[in-house]
Structure 1
Amino acid sequence: MIVPADPAERAAAAGLIDGRPLEPGQSRRVSLERLTAAVATRGPRLTPGAVAAHACNRRLAANARRRAQQTVAIDRIRAQLESAAAELPYHVRVLVGPETVFTRLRTLGWVTRLLNAPDPAELLGQALQVAARLPPPGRRIDRRLLVPGNPHALDTGALPALVLALTNSSGTRARSAWARLGVDCDDLLGGLIITGVMPRGWRIPSGATFTLPPRELARVDWEPPETTGTWVFVTENPSVLAAASGQALAQHSLVVPRVICTAGTPSQRECEAIGALSDAGWNIAVRADFDQAGLAHMRALLAEAPVAVAWRMGTADYLSVVPEGTDVLHLQDSDAPWDDHLVPVMRKHSVPAYEEDLLPALLADIAAGAPGSCAL
């Protein structure tokens, strides 16, 4: 401690320094413990830090106050989120996961983004209201109807991104993510990605891949196969169709792969178009990912195409590729009506498996022209 030169300041500091009086400018090492006790005699709430902050005209414990305010704000977000998430419809609640949603949003950086929003509670509340309006499996809704009175509210910005994060749908293309949630963006973009099958009267180069938008699917009339009963393979992920087309090109195969990709959860219109393939004489094999959304995807397809078969979507197929994991799969007994054993086994392992995990087997089936199944 350095003794001040100003007489008034020296008088104010009198009694804080033990020993003989010092001249102005001289210094002496002082025990912090003894200094704290000496300062406290001037006022029970005084500390050396408080005195120093006042002398330097600085706010006392600003960082601590800021952290405390942030903690209160975070707790407020957590309470709002967990309370509202628990009240969501079941088909949305299983996507959101009320028990884990706060941790997931925090990991994705959304808690910080909410804290920096002009009104965190309002933004979070809007996102939860949108999530509550998502349709149940097998139904669809136009994205422009999810926010009443504002058809463009989900075009861009924080609100649509937060809705996708809430429903564990971020990390993929926005259009595909919305499609998996049963939400259509328009009737010109999206639809089915196709190779080897075409509408009646269309002329598509052999082996070419094209997209049939929702508007065309509404009135599609499929060209029949050259041989009745030929199989067409319906897949969820574009990577399967891309790999099948690439394999045929690499092998200079004269047999064009017959693959239709829904690029996520199919709409009712897409399901109906796939179901219409059987009327044209095609056999239909359908599949999706081994997760909540994938099983719902399968049920929607099989409802519109009851003669279709579940393609490598059985218990043995799942067990052949199931990874180690700690995810929580929220499944009901009726989620996989094509295989009574699949849901119990998926619950036991509690981890999803994806089409890409089965890719070699799927490509072999497509090349062979008939669906197979794993036998363990």
Structure 2
Amino acid sequence: MTCPWCDGVCQETDLAPLLHPDLAWLWNQLADCADRRGDPELTSGSVGLKMPSAPEERSAAVGLLGGRPLSAGQVRRVDLVRLGDVLARRHPRLTPGVAAAHGARRRLAQRARSRAEQIDATAGLRRSLTAAISGLPEHLPGEMDPDAVWTRLHRAGWISRLIADDDREKRITLAAGVLARLPRPPARVDRRVLIPGDPHALDEGTVLAGLVLAVAGVAGAGRRTREAWSLLGVDCDNLLGGLLVLGVRPLSWSVPGDAVLTLPPRELLRVQWQAPPKPGAWAFVTENPSVMTAAAELAATGDGPGTDGTAHLICTAGTPSDIETTAISLLTAVGWRVAVRADFDPSGLAHVRALLNATPDAAPWRMDTAAYTDHCVTASAGALEVAVTDTPWDPDLASAMTRRGAPAYEEDQLSELIGDLCSGEPGAC
């Protein structure tokens, strides 16, 4: 059986006389010295040892340390070469460090050993990464210089994660292979075909998917996974997700006025909208499906506004992607006016900012200070901090939300929102 404290010397010699309890003080002090030095053998130089108070402990060490008689509390400078020569009489491979490791019952200088192993592993990882990314296509969006790739992986915590991964070489090779197969713009590819024989290898949440996006330089910065892949020309299940629409139709589509459609990313990438039923009609944009449900029930009664008898509503069902905000922005090109809103919470404010940035002519829809204070039913001072830059369309809204410290939700405004859909005009823009 392999010894946990040395490399087998103990199996070739009798260490029992050296491990007498009266010598424990000697080995413990030498073990501490080995840890400080990062030297598990202790075969050179000298070390200061403080002599114990018990005479039997000092007496036990006389044969090993030699020299003048040992005094209690004295600090004796011990020549490690001489001590090594004394120990070598028992076995030529027996060193002060090996004896101390057995006396202290632990491996010595583990921190230094781990540090050296870490340095070696880091250097090996860098060589592997540099070789793997050499020759990758020039059309990748991120800078693919080895130093740049290494820096962004380090900042994102990937270096330590890879070093601890026994499959790191395989993962790096696979990630580089995925990047090498990415199409040149404007061509696109389905994510599920990038790893032959394993359509789920790059599913969201897998280590390989995260590594590919990190190496390519498109991960992070608040960007959703689908958006990051899209920057690489990769479509992720582009038949799932997208926008819910009611009374706002793609060009040449013919469906009942009260039908709620889901327009997945595949359709939104090429969408052309029908013109509004009358010039300047409003298309309303909301975050929550509960508003869409209520609007669809309204449309089913035929009590909606305008000549088509339906509400005109788009629902992002959460955070809008770049594909979705771009599709919404195209409504203005065919004559729609656009009103946007979301919940009064940090993510909802971010949704509204994204929509307003994509469609500068859009108007906030009941997203002002008055609407918030009217519908915020709780207060928790200090629990919510909103900066003025979070609500550029109404700076006072940020102050009000910070003072109240609580969110407000679209469901709390449902009656007013449905009233606006009925009238065809957004209130409190």
Q: Report the TM-score, using the length of structure 2 for normalisation.
A: 0.48
Q: Is the 8 A contact 2:133 2:144 kept in 1?
A: yes
Listed one character per residue, the Cα deviations across residues 249-307 of structure 1 (whole Å, up to 9, x for unaligned) are xxxxx9979999982369xxx99x99xx89xx8379xxxxxxxxxxxxxxxxxxxxxxx
Instruction: Give SS of 2:321's match.
Output: coil
> What does 1:2-151 correspond to in 2, within 5 Å?
2=52, 5=56, 10=60, 13-14=62-63, 16-20=65-69, 27-32=72-77, 34-36=78-80, 38-39=82-83, 42=86, 51-92=99-140, 94=142, 96-151=144-199
Cα distance change of structure 1 residues 195 and 177 upon mapping to structure 2, 3 Å threshold:
farther
Task: Give the equivalent residue in structure 2 for 1:182.
Answer: 233
Instruction: Give SS of 2:162's match.
Output: helix
Aligned mates of 2:107, 2:237 — CA distance in 1: 55
Aligned mates of 2:179, 2:211 — CA distance in 1: 10
Aligned mates of 2:362, 2:268 — CA distance in 1: 24
Aligned mates of 1:170, 1:204 — CA distance in 2: 40
Listed one character per residue, the Cα deviations across residues 213-232 of structure 1 (whole Å, up to 9, x for unaligned) are 1565699774234468x899
Q: Is the 8 A contact 1:53 1:59 kept in 2?
A: yes
Cα distance change of structure 1 residues 258 and 177 upon mapping to structure 2, 3 Å threshold:
same
Aligned mates of 2:146, 2:255 — CA distance in 1: 48
Cα distance change of structure 1 residues 97 and 226 upon mapping to structure 2, 3 Å threshold:
farther
Structure 1 vs Structure 2 CA RMSD: 5.1
Structure 2 unaligned residues grouped into runs of 5+: 1-50, 292-305, 337-349, 365-429
Q: Is the 8 A contact 1:258 1:366 kept in 2?
A: no
Task: Give the equivalent residue in structure 2 for 1:160.
Answer: 209
Instruction: Give SS of 2:186's match.
Output: coil
- What code does the residue aligned with 1:53 have? A
Instruction: Give SS of 1:99's match.
Output: helix
- Higher RCO, 1 vs 2 (CA within 8 Å, ≥6 residues apart): 1
Cα distance change of structure 1 residues 124 and 213 upon mapping to structure 2, 3 Å threshold:
same
- What code does the residue aligned with 1:170 have? A
Cα distance change of structure 1 residues 15 and 61 upon mapping to structure 2, 3 Å threshold:
closer
Instruction: Give SS of 2:166's match.
Output: coil
Task: Give the equivalent residue in structure 1 for 2:387.
Answer: none
> What does 1:1-376 correspond to in 2, within 5 Å?
1-2=51-52, 5=56, 10=60, 13-14=62-63, 16-20=65-69, 27-32=72-77, 34-36=78-80, 38-39=82-83, 42=86, 51-92=99-140, 94=142, 96-155=144-203, 156-171=205-220, 172-191=223-242, 197-199=248-250, 201-203=254-256, 211-214=262-265, 222-226=273-277, 263-264=321-322, 282=334, 365-367=361-363
Cα distance change of structure 1 residues 35 and 91 upon mapping to structure 2, 3 Å threshold:
same
- What code does the residue aligned with 1:29 have? Q
Q: Which has the larger radius of gyration?
A: 2
Cα distance change of structure 1 residues 89 and 241 upon mapping to structure 2, 3 Å threshold:
farther
Q: CA deviation at 1:142?
A: 0.6
Q: Report the TM-score, using the length of structure 1 for normalisation.
A: 0.54
Instruction: Give SS of 2:230's match.
Output: helix
Cα distance change of structure 1 residues 258 and 193 upon mapping to structure 2, 3 Å threshold:
closer
Listed one character per residue, the Cα deviations across residues 38-75 of structure 1 (whole Å, up to 9, x for unaligned) are 43664799986554224334323222122111211111
Structure 1 unaligned residues grouped into runs of 5+: 234-239, 247-253, 285-353, 369-376
Aligned length: 270
Aligned mates of 1:231, 1:36 — CA distance in 2: 91
Aligned mates of 2:246, 2:126 — CA distance in 1: 47
